[in-house]
Amino acid sequence: MGIIEAILLTVITAATPLVLASLGELVSERAGVLNLGVEGMMVMGAVLAFAVTQATGSPYIGVLAGIACGALFSLLFGFLTLTLVANQVATGLALTILGLGISGQIGEPYVGMSGIKLQPIAIPLLSDIPFFGPLFFKQDIIFYLSIALVFGVNWFLFRSRAGLKVRAIGDSHASAHALGIHVIRTRYLAVMFGGACAGLAGAQLSLVYTPQWVENMSAGRGWIALALVVFASWRPWRLLAGGYLFGAVSISQLHAQALGIGIPSQFLSALPYIATVVVLILISHNRRMTLINTPASLGKPFVPDR
């Protein structure tokens, strides 16, 4: 049981940034905005969270810095695509490249420096439950936030009037505009939420997952988060399950190597990305399901006077 508990703890730690980043992208895409800059926002959130934590000595302030950095970085994407009506795909790719470059420059002095880890919070009584207590009730605050955000986003999108407006914009921005809904303002807020979640995911990487700074430490997780949104067919609960599935695949390479399983380490390292490609291929075969759930205005620019 101790070995199983240790494995599940590492799976939870690996899955949390995937859930957070993909949840933010889900909201953005529900509003009709395709932001491929998740990787760049994650790595910027990671480096700012680490740097601010080193400067203040408080990982909680570092977490706030990561969230703010992701939100502000997403505003650049919003300005280019929503105000200047630039191509969303090209802008998102540019944002990722920019984020990787700037983070490497900012983080250069912190390479090799020991980080300050965000300590777990034990919920009284519940954390003492055998096996399940340490798994679910003795975790860091970012884990609790990830679960709360899944509940909150699901309620917001499918139970609130504001969420209905977001989905209406994603399905037909012209019709939503004709009904008096502020399309651009709503999309800006959705993009900022996505950026904040990506920044929080980055903060988890540098303060919880591996409390240190390493250049390009997001290591493709932003791209996996983008695939997770499609895998979950834009549903928060499916996204939560998919995030933990991909987290288990990601962490399996470490346990396989520790157990001495005779599989090349290069193949094990590539396993999460192989799984991503396989999932996308399987999803593409069910075009009816994909078309039903995909926001109809996803990636399409909107200019109010047209």
What type of residue sits at position 198? A
Half-sphere exposure of 118 (CA within 13 A, CB side): 27
Q: Which residues have C-beta within 8 Å of that of residue 4, sequence separation ≥ 6?
A: none
The SS3 call for residue 12 is helix
State residue 108 phi and psi, 5-degree precision.
Answer: -55, -45
- pLDDT tens-digit profile, the chain (306 residues): 577 888 888 899 999 999 999 999 999 999 999 999 999 999 999 999 999 999 999 999 999 999 999 999 999 999 999 999 999 999 999 999 999 999 999 999 999 888 899 999 999 888 888 888 888 999 999 999 999 999 999 999 999 999 999 999 999 999 999 999 999 999 999 999 999 999 999 999 999 998 999 999 998 899 999 989 988 889 999 899 989 988 888 787 776 666 666 667 667 677 777 877 777 777 767 666 666 678 999 999 998 865
Entry pTM: 0.92
Which two three-digit tokens encode residue 287?
Answer: 């075009």
Which two three-digit tokens encode residue 50?
Answer: 């680490």
Rounded CA separation 156/222 (Å): 24
Q: Which residues have C-beta within 8 Å of that of residue 96, sequence separation ≥ 6?
A: 36, 37, 38, 39, 40, 222
What's residue 195's pLDDT? 97
What's residue 128's pLDDT? 87
What's residue 249's pLDDT? 82
Domain 2-118+126-293: assigned CATH number: 1.10.3470
**For the chain, which residues make up each domain, given as ranges?**
2-118+126-293
Contacts by residues 266-271 (CB-CB < 8 Å, ≥ 24 positions apart): none
